[in-house]
Amino acid sequence: MSGQHASSQTAARVRRLEERLIDAGLTSDDELDGIIGRLLSGASPANGARVVARAWIDPAYRERLLADANAALEELGLSMSTGPQPQRFTVVPNTPDTHNVLVCTLCSCYPIALLGPSPSWYKSEAYRSRVVREPRAVLAEFGLELPAGTGIVVHDTSAESRHMVLPMRPAGTDGLAEDALAALVTREGLIGTAAV
């Protein structure tokens, strides 16, 4: 089955689900459009980069981010809320001994507000299945060669829970301001398929 055919089948299934919710009186097209609009307005990897840069320059913020990421996001005017309940959000820090990478093995759950729309490869069945079984090989295909002693932890996102990687701060960036640090952070670094 081609990727385009699978995408059109998924779109048709989503629309049927939307129609059933509307027919049941649980929502309307306007409400659904509003939810999608709120979700995508301002959704950008620049948001995640701001969070990372703040954590790099402010150790107290980093601690709060790792302890309660939802609350730490609010300090920067960001949120994982798309409805009445915010999604559970965790930030996982890379260290010299541990590298984190994200996947949604069921579909393509992803923190859109902080990373922008997900890349097509993140949604692909090949990535979703292989990164769990052979993460080191998949990361190498992205150009990320990790030392043999570095452990890799794969975090599976879900509809209820989202994750973001906190990359290690690059060497030689001590004198950079927060905005300059944020400019170094990529979406792939926030997913864990690249270093920063």
Instruction: Grade residue 1 by pLDDT with cuts at 50, 70 and 90.
Output: very low
Per-domain residue ranges for the chain? Answer: 1-41, 43-191
Whether 158 is catalytic is: no
Check if the beta carbon of residue 20 is closer than 8 Å to that of residue 14: no
Q: 109 catalytic, yes or no? A: yes
Q: Is 3 helix (H, G, I), strand (E, B) or coil?
A: helix
Is 41 a residue of the active site? no
The model's pLDDT over 100-141, given as tens digits with 9 standing for 90+, comes to: 999 999 888 888 889 988 888 998 899 999 999 999 999 999
Residue 176: which residues within 8 A CB-CB, separation 6 or more?
A: 184
Give the largest CA-CA distance in the chain: 58
Q: What pTM value is reported for the model? A: 0.79
DSSP string covering 35-96: HHHHHHTT--HHHHHHHHHHHHH-HHHHHHHHH-HHHHHHHTT---BSSSSBPEEEEEE--S
Buried b (16+ CB within 10 A) or exposed e, 75-95: eeebebeeeeeebebbbbebe
Q: How far is CA 1 from CA 5, 8, 14, 15, 123, in A?
A: 6, 11, 18, 20, 15
The DSSP letter of residue 164 is E
Which residue of the set 7, 8, 28, 107 is catalytic? Answer: 107
Choosing from 108, 118, 158, 161, which is the catalytic residue? 108
Question: Is 36 or 68 the better-scoring residue by pLDDT?
Answer: 68
What is the Cα–Cα distance from 103 to 162, expressed in whole angstroms?
10
Q: Is the predicted pLDDT of residue 26 greater than 70, yes or no? A: yes
CATH no. of 43-191:
3.90.330.10
- Binning pLDDT at 50, 70 and 90, where does residue 27 land? confident
* Identity at 45, one-letter amino acid code: P
